[in-house]
């Protein structure tokens, strides 16, 4: 099963390089164009459905894709972005200059929670549980598109072994994708393997097999149990 995890298109806060968190910001004009281009790039085929965070920027991006693919669009609350608390709305560049150590903790320490916000670990657990429910609902599907947010996508990507390239370190771009393969254990638990990150979504919507072995991670255990295949 192929899973395409797409980051939403651009908002005004993205363009201004400000933390966005759970502020419900819609797409700007460029974001609408990005979402439309991404939707047009997805090849029709064995898509089962489009799932998204209910936040405006993700739901809008997903709606264009669902219309293009002619499949249902489902909103799942726990696919929403990490809560950034008091950081919400701050300039990333200014924060990086004034508090570089805190920025590193935000990006690299899953136990860190900004004041009033959510730790990386809590956000990843929540997101992985929601993703598992999505995959369980579409277990016999060929491909599923999930539209979410840069923060939670990066938390997942950093918890998955890289597929040959350098591990993900930078935020996945707007309307860029993580490409996963999913399989099921005998106990009915979904395992996923990272095939590509920060990719053009149309690069993910293929059925090519990996040239080298990939590493599957158990989503139920929130990216902690690793089995090599």
Sheet holding 2-7, edge to edge: 73-75, 47-52, 143-148, 2-7, 177-184, 190-199, 215-218, 226-228
Residue 8: active-site member: yes
Specify the DSSP element, H or E, that contains 3: strand 2-7
d(CA 222, CA 229): 19
Residue 30: active-site member: no
Single out the catalytic residue among 10, 81, 118, 138. 81
d(CA 30, CA 13): 12
Number of helical H runs and strand E runs in the chain:
8, 8
Residue 177: exposure state from Cβ atoms within 10 A (0-12, 13-18, ≥19): buried
Sign of the alpha-carbon dihedral angle for 85, 86, 90, 96? negative
Q: Which of 42, 107, 99, 102 is nearest to 71 (CA)?
A: 42
d(CA 80, CA 47): 22
Single out the catalytic residue among 8, 73, 83, 222. 8
Which residues carry out catalysis?
Answer: 8, 81
């Amino acid at each position: 099963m192929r899973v395409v995890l797409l980051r939403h298109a651009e908002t005004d806060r993205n363009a201004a390089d400000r933390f966005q968190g759970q502020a419900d910001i819609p797409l700007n004009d460029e974001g609408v164009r990005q979402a439309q281009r991404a939707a047009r790039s997805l090849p029709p085929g064995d898509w089962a459905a489009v799932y998204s965070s209910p936040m405006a920027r993700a739901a809008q991006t997903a709606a264009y894709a669902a219309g293009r693919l002619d499949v249902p669009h489902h909103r799942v609350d726990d696919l929403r972005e990490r809560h950034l608390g008091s950081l919400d709305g701050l300039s990333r560049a200014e924060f990086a200059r004034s508090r570089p150590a805190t920025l590193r903790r935000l990006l690299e320490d899953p136990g860190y929670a900004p004041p009033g916000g959510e730790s990386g670990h809590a956000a990843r657990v929540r997101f992985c549980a929601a993703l598992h429910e999505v995959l369980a609902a579409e277990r016999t599907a060929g491909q599923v598109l999930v539209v979410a947010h840069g923060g939670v996508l990066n938390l997942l990507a950093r918890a998955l072994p890289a597929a040959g390239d350098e591990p993900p370190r930078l935020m996945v771009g707007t309307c860029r994708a993580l490409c996963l393969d999913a399989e099921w254990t005998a106990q009915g638990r979904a395992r996923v393997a990272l095939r590509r990150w920060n990719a053009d979504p149309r690069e993910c919507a293929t059925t090519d097999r990996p040239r080298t072995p990939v590493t599957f991670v158990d989503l139920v255990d929130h990216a902690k149990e690793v089995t090599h295949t």
